[in-house]
Structure 1
């Protein structure tokens, strides 16, 4: 488990990622990260994955195209 602090920078709150955290994410300064909320309310930080981004966009398109059907099934 990693521990970090949230601090204020301008009008934003930022979290510092240590070198150890970046290594665990296989990420470096300047990379894009994705934060996803899990069903239990926790957050998962993932390194940018172009295939995942494409799959999520495709899923959003399908949901947009079938919004009425999906609402009827809910």
Structure 2
């Protein structure tokens, strides 16, 4: 387990990722990270999730194709 702290920066709360965490994620400053909530309330941080990216792209395509219908249902 790696411990980190939450601190206030301006109006935001930020979590510092240590060099060890970045190495585990194979990430660097400026990369996009994905945070996914588990069924048990846990959070999972991923540097790259091709399945998630594909699902989001498919969802966006469906929403674009059915924009009028979705607005009528809202």
* TM-score range normalised by the length of the shorter chain: 0.7 to 0.9
Q: 1:10 matched to which residue of 2? A: 10
Spell out, residue by residue over 1:17-53, the C-alpha distance to the aligned partner (whole angstroms, 9 max, x if none).
Answer: 0000000000001100000000110000000345531
Q: Is the 8 A contact 1:31 1:48 kept in 2?
A: no
Distance in structure 2 (CA, Å) of the matches to 1:54 and 1:45:
17
TM-score (norm 2): 0.73
Figure out how many residues of one structure are paired with residues of the other and give that number. 66
In structure 2, list runs of 5 or more residues that go unmatched.
Answer: 67-74
| Backbone CA RMSD of aligned residues | 2.3
Q: Please give the TM-score of this superposition, normalised by the length of structure 1.
A: 0.73
Structure 1 gap ranges (5+): 66-74
Q: Which residue of 2 aligns with 1:54?
A: 54
